[in-house]
């Protein structure tokens, strides 16, 4: 049965372009010029309390969806223990962020082009906690990250699972946090654990919950409402609903083919729902009023927060 569904990659991509064209969002042909000192590249951290909930897969497909809508997107794999964003995209980077920290190359040399213009910064291994870097490596990382501000509209950070110092630091420093969970009780409990830690350390966090592999909208709505109610009753913290992704066999097949779902099967139920979520929550332009309200701090604000969390001064 699987053999009948799986097609050669070139054929899949060619078919996908034809299928997706009527549904691709209008590109921003004329963006408002970015004012000096007012450049905004939105930083979104995608995390989960438990591994295996499909977080990295969602990051890859969200990135492609944003890129198809005309956005410039950089994906940073911040899971240094089990980095695998490159596997989802089907690429083999020769360098990763570990070499930037070691000073053997620049961040620009690490960035690898992915599908639809998405740029990828692969994670590495051997560093248990970025927060424990020495001052020289920390300042080098901040200096390199700052250079991304003018190169992207969205910086998507794929963290590891759990509540390690690395994960929480990236959450607290971001403009927006997306916590991914599934309907499983263990995943829900661990997602609530992330929400609890974040809420206790930064009350104004912009945190959203996304339910993956839901059977239907009713199940997802029940879970989202329950999380929101519990977070408010016990933490006095407002959790926002990002939506849900339905259970979809094509998601599984796309992972096996190392081709993101948005290209493998762009009209599948999960792909359509991802596109719906992106169009309803990330398509708006960043206006000067947003900047004045300090709703989005961008990469510079992200670095400011990380430097305070890690007790290092910016480079």
Domains for the chain: give ranges and CATH numbers: 43-309 (3.40.50.300)
Residue 292 has pLDDT above 50, yes or no: no
What is the percent of the chain where pLDDT is above 70?
Answer: 78
Burial of 180 (0-12, 13-18, 19+ CB in 10 A): buried
Residue 20 has pLDDT above 60, yes or no: no
Between 4 and 179, name the one with better pLDDT: 179
CA 225-203-283 angle, 5° bins: 65
pTM for the full predicted model: 0.83
Average pLDDT over residues 75-83: 78
């Amino acid at each position: 049965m699987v053999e009948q569904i799986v097609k050669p990659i070139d054929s899949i991509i060619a078919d996908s372009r034809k299928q997706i064209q009527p549904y691709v969002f209008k590109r921003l042909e004329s963006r408002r010029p970015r004012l000096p000192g007012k450049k905004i590249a939105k930083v979104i951290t995608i995390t989960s309390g438990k591994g295996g909930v499909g977080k990295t897969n969602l990051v890859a497909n969200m990135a492609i969806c944003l890129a198809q809508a005309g956005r410039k997107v950089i994906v940073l794999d911040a899971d240094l223990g089990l980095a695998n964003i490159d596997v989802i995209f089907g690429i083999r980077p020769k360098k990763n962020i570990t070499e930037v920290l070691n000073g053997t190359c620049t961040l620009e040399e690490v960035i690898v082009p992915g599908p639809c213009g998405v740029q990828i910064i692969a994670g590495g291994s051997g560093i248990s906690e970025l927060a424990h870097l020495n001052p020289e490596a920390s300042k080098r990382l901040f200096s390199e990250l700052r250079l991304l501000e003018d190169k992207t509209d969205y910086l998507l950070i794929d963290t590891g699972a759990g509540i390690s110092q690395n994960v929480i630091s990236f959450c607290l420093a971001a403009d927006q946090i997306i916590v991914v969970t599934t309907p499983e009780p263990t995943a829900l409990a661990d997602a609530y654990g992330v929400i609890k830690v974040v809420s206790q350390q930064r009350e104004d966090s912009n945190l959203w919950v996304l339910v993956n592999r839901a059977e239907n909208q009713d199940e997802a709505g029940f879970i989202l409402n329950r999380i929101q109610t519990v977070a408010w009753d016990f933490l006095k913290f407002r959790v926002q609903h990002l939506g849900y992704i339905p259970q979809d066999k094509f998601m599984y097949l796309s992972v096996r083919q190392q081709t993101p779902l948005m290209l493998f099967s762009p009209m599948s139920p999960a792909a359509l729902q991802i596109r719906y979520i992106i169009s309803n929550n990330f398509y708006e332009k960043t206006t000067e009023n947003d900047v004045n309200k300090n709703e989005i701090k961008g990469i510079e604000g992200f670095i400011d927060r990380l430097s305070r969390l890690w007790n290092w001064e910016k480079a």
